[in-house]
């Protein structure tokens, strides 16, 4: 298992974990399309923390037949998960949009790339996103 800290607002370092995870998955010989799916979903999840929360963590767990990515934050929580899952719905700031994000594709893209996506969230407390990738 690997754990990485995520700092809210730190867009410059967002996705630093993906480099480490990528190297690990390559080294143990996982197929390229699988690695790509994990990296895209993990980066999207991490970006959400950077864009909306103060801080968070990303856990990477490798099991025999699956990878699990858990991203937890102490952010504002998601008041309406169903709405947040809709394509094009975004609450990202203009700063985030200027960087090229905030198209409201993050959660749909995480769902698209993972085999299961679980969102546990409480307004005012934070959000936990668990994604499972089957080999």
Partner 1 sequence: MKLSEIVKLIDGVILAGEEKSNEDFTSAYSADLLSDVLALTKGHTLLITGTVSPQVIKVSEILGITAVIFIRGKMPSGEVLEAAKKKLDIPLIFTKKTMFETSGILYQNNVKPCENMPADEV
Restricting to residues 8-27, name those near partner 1 by CB under 8 A: 11-12, 14-15, 18-19, 22
CB 58 → partner 1: shortest distance, Å?
14
Three-class SS of residue 83? helix
56 binds partner 1 (CB under 8 A): no
DSSP at 64: S
CB 32 → partner 1: shortest distance, Å?
8
Is residue 124 packed enough to be buried (19+ CB in 10 Å), middle (13-18) or exposed (0-12)?
exposed
CA terminus-to-terminus distance, the chain: 17
Restricting to residues 87-116, name those near partner 1 by CB under 8 A: 87-88, 98-106, 108-109, 112
What is the rounded distance in angstroms from the CA atom of residue 99 to the CA atom of residue 52? 15
Residues engaged in binding partner 1 (CB under 8 A): 11-12, 14-15, 18-19, 22, 36, 39-40, 43-44, 87-88, 98-106, 108-109, 112
């Amino acid at each position: 298992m690997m754990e990485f800290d995520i700092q809210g607002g730190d867009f410059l370092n967002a996705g630093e974990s993906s480099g480490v995870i990528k190297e690990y998955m390559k080294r143990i010989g996982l197929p390229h399309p699988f690695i790509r799916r994990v990296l895209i979903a993990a980066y999207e999840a991490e970006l959400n923390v950077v864009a909306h929360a103060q801080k968070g963590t990303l856990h990477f767990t490798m099991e025999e037949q699956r990878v699990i990515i858990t991203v937890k934050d102490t952010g504002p929580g998601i008041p309406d998960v169903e709405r947040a899952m809709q394509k094009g719905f975004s609450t990202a700031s203009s700063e985030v949009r200027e960087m090229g994000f905030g198209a409201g594709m993050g959660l749909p893209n995480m769902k698209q790339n993972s085999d299961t996506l679980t969102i546990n969230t409480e307004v005012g407390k934070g959000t936990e996103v668990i994604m499972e990738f089957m080999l």
